[in-house]
Amino acid sequence: MSDPIKEAGRGLLRYRPKSFLKLILLGFTLVALPLIGALIYAAVSIDRLAVQSRQAVYQSVQIAHGSRVLLDEITTMERGVRQALILGDATLLEGFFQAHARFVSQLNKLAALSLRRDQATALAQLRTAETPIYQQVLSARDSPDSLQPVVNNFVPLLVQARGFAQGGYALIEQEVSAMQDRASRTRSIVLWLVLALVPFTLLLALLFSVLISRPIRLIDEAIRRMGQGELDRPVSVTGPQDLRYLGERLDWMRQRLLEVEAQKERFLQHVSHELKTPLTAMREGADLLASGVVGELSDKQKSVANILYGNSLQLQKRIEDLLNYSAIQAQSTALNPHQVALQPLLDLVLQSHQLAVLNQRLQVIQHCPEMHVYADEQKLCIILDNLLSNAVKFSPPGGVIRIDARVQDKTLVLDVRDAGAGVDTADRDKVFEPFYQGRQAPQSHVKGTGLGLSIAREYARAHGGDIILVETDRAGAHFRLLLPLQLIQQSHA
């Protein structure tokens, strides 16, 4: 036999309300309903107990009071008969008859109560015992001397009346005990009801918390993935109809973003390839002009040719960045690893930036032990070039650039630090995003594409490593390249 709670849980999970508000209202109702039921039951039980107790106390008091009145009236009747007998005055029997009338009236009042069977029997016996006495007194009304036998009949009547009174007091004790038992039983029932309903209510609250929070969590996760550019996984939201519709709209947005991303990649590839061919011709033409192959140029003409040639190189580098980024986005980051000497590669990269270093009077301090890296030489060169280019770009004139390489915890650690303004706090989380331009870019420098660090990091991750921005109290930016041990072999030459 299946657990009813589990069956109810599965039934609720299969239930699909049409709106999120209806789900909340349903959950609130089902969670509050058991508690409301328990409160109603407790209120009804207490009210019933109060009514029963009030009736029991009232009846017990009426019986006790009636018993005392019966005893008093029997005593009054006996006293009236004795006085008439002793004084021989029949007029003194008037007190007896008045007491008898009150006695009969009290018997009728007691008989009208809801008496137990033994009490009703005792009350009937009391009435039966008093009736002959009344008949005898009534017969001897004119001859008081014949009342002597009647006086002796009051003794058993008093005994019966006292027995009835004791029964009334015993009834009070029984009712008090019964009220205590009922109160204890009611308290136990309410306590067990609360103990049973509290975990059940908590279980319902937990179940509806899951039902309510699950679609919200799915939507939040979908928005987070879309914000991070993870557009491959479809958005699927279960729950109320309006939230499922919202999930469908998010999935539609994801598909549109995929289309826009694909269009952007195609645009970058086409534009980059279309620009590369004429740019090569322009660069070669400027080089020919500057070198004097097509004829001697004046100093001003050579200066203009050199400017054209330098800017064509800058433009070619920007186009190559776009092509590299397009290749990364198309997942064309396959590696061709082999043994690469790190120091000569670093010197080659420094040599390509020598002109900028000289123009800004920069000092480059490097500490790189002899080691060979098992990596893709071209992509590692791009990583180092982008890190050094970033350091040169943000270094002030006369600044110092430090390059330190070491092996730590089976990982190659290469630090590149400059003495510039550093990375703004607002840019720290976005500095590796493609096309993002930082706030600290010097105004005099040629503005880049914002792809250098993004490409470098993607290539580092393709090697199984990473590039991180190290927080430091010193001036300038501090970037760290990490490559795993399996791609590193220390040279012992």
- Give the model confidence (pLDDT) of 106-123 as tens digits: 888 888 877 778 778 888
Percent of the chain topping pLDDT 70: 82
| Average pLDDT score over residue span 135-160 | 80
Q: What is the pLDDT of residue 334?
A: 67
pLDDT bin (cut points 50, 70, 90) of residue 200 is: confident
Identify which of 338, 346, 341, 349 has the alpha carbon closest to the alpha carbon of residue 376. Answer: 338
Contact in structure between 95 and 75 (CB atoms under 8 Å): no
Q: What is the pLDDT of residue 5?
A: 47
What stretches of 88-239 show up as alpha helix (H) in DSSP?
94-111, 117-139, 148-152, 154-227
Higher pLDDT, 54 or 384: 384
Q: CA torsion angle for 401, 402, 403, 404 (degrees, to 10)?
A: -170
Q: Where are the beta strands (DSSP E) in 242-380?
A: 338-341, 363-367, 372-375
Predicted confidence (pLDDT) at residue 199 exceeds the cutoff of 60: yes
Q: How many degrees, rounded to 5, is the angle at CA 411 between CA 408 and CA 412?
A: 90
| Average pLDDT score over residue span 308-328 | 69
Identify which of 411, 394, 392 has the alpha carbon closest to the alpha carbon of residue 403. Answer: 392
Contacts of 346 (CB under 8 A, 6+ apart): 366, 368, 384, 403, 405
Predicted confidence (pLDDT) at residue 18 exceeds the cutoff of 80: no
Among the residue ranges 290-304, 321-335, 355-369, 470-484, the one predicted with the least confidence is 321-335
Distance CA 432, CA 415 (A): 16
Percent of the chain topping pLDDT 90: 0
Predicted confidence (pLDDT) at residue 350 exceeds the cutoff of 50: yes
- Looking up tokens 């309006």 gives 242
pTM: 0.45
- Give the model confidence (pLDDT) of 393-438 as tens digits: 888 888 889 999 888 877 888 999 888 877 777 667 777 776 666 6
| Average pLDDT score over residue span 289-306 | 73
Q: What is the pLDDT of residue 333?
A: 56
Taking the chain, what is the end-to-end CA distance rounded to the nearest angstrom? 77
Predicted confidence (pLDDT) at residue 94 exceeds the cutoff of 80: yes
